[in-house]
Amino acid sequence: MEKKKFYYIETFGCQMNVHDSEKIAGMLIDLGYCETAQKERADIIVFNTCCIRETAELKIMAKIGDLKALKKKNKELIIVVCGCMTQQQGMADLLKKRFPFVNLVIGTHNLDLLEEYVKSYTGSKFKSIVLEKEQEITENTKIYRTNHKNAFVNIMYGCNNFCTYCIVPYVRGRERSRKVEDIVREVEELAKENKYSQITLLGQNVNSYGLDFKDNKTNFVYLLDKLCKIKGDFKISFMSSHPKDFSNELIDFIASHEKMSRAIHLPVQSGSDEVLKRMNRRYTSSHYKSLVDEIYKKIKGVSLTTDIIVGFPGESEKDFNDTCDLLRYCKFSSIFGFVYSKRNGTPAATFSDQVPYKVKKERITKLFDLQHEIQRIELSSLIGKTLECTIERDEKGRFIAKTFNNKSIKLNGENYTIGDKKSVLVKEINKNELIGEIA
Ligand code: SAH
Ligand code: SF4
Ligand code: F3S
């Protein structure tokens, strides 16, 4: 009997990468591999990398270094490094120099070549396949979905925005939208499987979906309208949005469609107009606040989340305070806060007035403390309220009740059935966690 072969994939970065790893798993399963959670057992190890911040990159570099020992023990082991990090200029050469035991370095524009490579692998030495330009979108890729509640669906690739701090446009290329009919077909198939409570549409800036077709018809709302007509018990969410393109038409659409998730992620990055300008975000804080006003007014029970960068070059104490004011105004249900990280090749890396690390650290701590306090006040206002929820388990395996806008309420006891719809009374909060019982 032929020996079973195993793959091990480790994913860094955003949902886009998580979903790419689902495609890589699909290819490897097709080639006869089975999944393993143990590196030591694997016949092929794939690192799907991210380079959004220096910390991500350093961590990955160290982890690649650790693979040397495994390769020594098992000469047959295939090691693949792919994803955003590899697409950076000069990175393939650097990896070759530092980690000659890696077998394949493959860029973001040609991930499908991974299957060909593994199929025809004959023990070759270091090889890199990094194409400079984005390719045609490939359809009909096999996907092995690893999240059993939430299915990711790409609607577009790349980014045209060139925010001055961000590496993504350089490593993911220009915006390319998938055809409406291809997306509809994929979502129809997922709906038929009848096991996903959420379908998340992925793109770096989903609000500019379809504009590259230049047909004066296709846009994000047009796509959502088609998707909302698909029968099935699932919510549609999307990420990420860019405030400059988040239209009133979209707000109205979400407000009037039950299928649309009430959890919206709308990255603001900073509350200072000066900083936003130097970030090339192309909106002001008052534009952002007016969007938030519209969203709260029209979309009942919405929960908003955002991304913030502190310590962008030139960020003064006043700029930082403007960001704090914006948090107080918008009352996000949670935030993702980051310390600015210099990325080679981006404009902001050459800005002269870089903020010292100590100041950045102080600001991020202040930011999280402030947000914590805002959340505590917001959550306290829910005590005594009864909310319609679906029973789920959290990542620790505990039973929780999820509201339609993605808030979690911890339930005591074990007598619940996953997927049940229940009215839940919020009793108290403990360390920013809601605690409740079935009403
Ligand atoms: N396309 C998405 C996500 C981009 S990356 C969007 O525009 O929202 C996710 C987040 O990482 C960004 O929103 C930003 O807050 C953060 N980020 C990007 N580049 C960064 C850098 N150089 N340093 C620190 N944080 C960064
Ligand atoms: Fe990066 Fe800006 Fe594009 Fe988001 S919109 S991926 S932050 S360049
Ligand atoms: Fe995502 Fe990181 Fe690439 S955030 S797009 S995996 S650089």
340-372 residue pLDDT tens = 999 999 999 999 999 999 999 999 999 999 999
For the chain, give the percent of residues with pLDDT over 70.
100
- pLDDT value at 327 more than 80: yes
Indicate if ligand 2 lies below 6 Å from the C-beta of 336.
Answer: no
Mean pLDDT of all residues belonging to the chain? 95
In angstroms, the CA 92 to CA 224 distance is 39
Going by their DSSP bridges, the two strands 5-11 and 127-129 should be labelled as: unpaired
Q: What is the distance in A from the centroid of ligand 3 to the CA of 17?
A: 7
- pLDDT value at 266 more than 80: yes
Atom of ligand 2 nearest to the CA of 159: 3
Q: Which of 15, 156, 163, 283 has most ligand 2 atoms within 8 Å of CB, for mutation?
A: 163
- pLDDT value at 220 more than 90: yes
Neighbours of 6 (CB within 10 A): 19
Q: What is the distance in A from the centroid of ligand 2 to the CA of 236?
A: 22
Using omega within 30 degrees of 0 as the cis cutoff, is the peptide bond preceding 240 cis? yes
Residues 435, 412: contact at Cβ < 8 Å?
Answer: yes
pLDDT given at position 405: 78
Residue 397: band (very low, low, confident or very high) from pLDDT cuts 50, 70, 90: confident
Structure tokens at 32: 């006869």
Indicate if ligand 2 lies below 6 Å from the C-beta of 280.
Answer: no
| Model confidence pLDDT, tens digit, residues 406-425 | 889 999 888 898 888 999 99
Residues 345, 89: contact at Cβ < 8 Å?
Answer: yes
pLDDT given at position 240: 92
Q: Which of 11, 14, 165, 175 has most ligand 3 atoms within 8 Å of CB, for mutation?
A: 14
| Model confidence pLDDT, tens digit, residues 161-211 | 999 999 999 999 999 999 999 999 999 999 999 999 999 999 999 999 999
Going by their DSSP bridges, the two strands 303-310 and 150-154 should be labelled as: unpaired
Residue 136: band (very low, low, confident or very high) from pLDDT cuts 50, 70, 90: confident
Q: What is the distance in A from the centroid of ligand 1 to the CA of 185?
A: 31
Structure tokens at 61: 């570099």
- Please state the rounded mean pLDDT for residues 82-89: 96
For the ranges 68-82, 121-135, 228-242, the lowest mean pLDDT is seen at: 121-135
Starting from the CA of residue 267, give the closest ligand: 1
In angstroms, the CA 162 to CA 63 distance is 29
Neighbours of 329 (CB within 10 A): 14
Higher model confidence: residue 134 or residue 283?
Answer: 283
- pLDDT value at 72 more than 90: yes
- pLDDT value at 124 more than 80: no
Check: pTM over 0.85? Answer yes or no.
yes
Residue 106: band (very low, low, confident or very high) from pLDDT cuts 50, 70, 90: very high
In angstroms, the CA 275 to CA 279 distance is 6
* CB contact set of 370 (below 8 Å; sequence gap of 6+): 324, 327, 328
- pLDDT value at 1 more than 80: no
Q: Judging by beta carbons within 10 Å of its beta carbon (0-12, 13-18, 19+), is residue 287 exposed, middle or buried?
A: middle
Q: What is the distance in A from the centroid of ligand 1 to the CA of 384?
A: 37
Residues 151, 190: contact at Cβ < 8 Å?
Answer: yes
- Please state the rounded mean pLDDT for residues 330-334: 95
In angstroms, the CA 181 to CA 96 distance is 41
Atom of ligand 2 nearest to the CA of 167: 1
- Please state the rounded mean pLDDT for residues 225-235: 96
Q: What is the distance in A from the centroid of ligand 3 to the CA of 20?
A: 11
